Structure formats: C-alpha cells, structure tokens
Amino acid sequence: MSRDTSRDIHSRQVAARASSAAVQHVLEPVVLAVEDGLSSLGMALQRQDALSVDRAAAELHLALSLAVDHFARAAQTGPVPSVLRQRLALAGGQVAAQREALARATASLDRAIDVLMPRLAPSRLYTAGGVQRRAGPGAGLLA
C-alpha cells in the first residue's frame, strides 16, 4: 500500500469519527428528551394526576416525533451511533409497555363500571319463546 493511500484512509477514518461525534452531539439531547418524557409520564401515572398525564403525554409525543425526524436526517448523512439507536429502541419499548399497561387498566376499569352500572336494557324484550315481555315501570330510567 502506498503512503498516499494510507494517509487517505487515515483521513477518512478521522473524518468519519468527527462526523459520528457531531451526529452524537446532535442526537444526544433528542434521546434525553424522550427519556425525560418517559420518566415524567411514568411519575404522572403513578401520582394518578390526569392533568400531568395529559401534559407529559403531549411532551413525550413531541419528543418522539422530533427524535424520529432527527434520526432519519442523521441516517441520511451516515451511520447513527449504535448506542443512541439502542437507547431510542429501549425508549420505544417502554412507550409500548406503558401503552399496554394503560390499555389493561382501562379495560379493567370499564369492566368494573359495567358491573356497577349495567347498560340500559331495551324497553321491549323477547323471551326465549319469542313472546314479547314488557319491562316493568321505570325500567328505561337510570338515576
């Protein structure tokens, strides 16, 4: 290998490291914002503070949108540091886990409400034999 070729290779390696450091410098705050948003949402959920949950969820949504945008642009210019990709993937997994936990809690709450407050029955019912049966007085009213 000639001396010029090894110098070119070294120059490209130095440039690649500098580019990777610049990408990391830009993406690090974006990933931190997502991680902070997840933490804030988790704390708001633990406190059962609906206003804080709404605020934290909106901030997390914005942080995730910005992260996706920044990562997409960074990927166009070169490789994205694997550490940052892994952190963002972990954050995405945590978002999915929180979403699943909220869905389970909501379903449980819906079942409890259904037990405590049954749905209104239609005012005219049919029996198994097909004979129409009238609902009792006030059957269509809930207080």
pLDDT confidence of residue 81: 87
Token output for 40: 């804030």
Residue among 36, 35, 87, 34 nearest 63 (CA): 34
Residues of the chain with pLDDT under 50: 13-15, 18, 141, 143
Residue 124 forms beta bridges with which residues?
134
Q: Please state whether the predicted TM-score (pTM) of the whole model is above 0.85.
A: no
pLDDT confidence of residue 14: 47
Q: Is 48 helix (H, G, I), strand (E, B) or coil?
A: coil
Burial class (CB in 10 A: 0-12, 13-18, 19+), 56: buried
pLDDT tens column, 101-118: 888 888 988 888 888 887
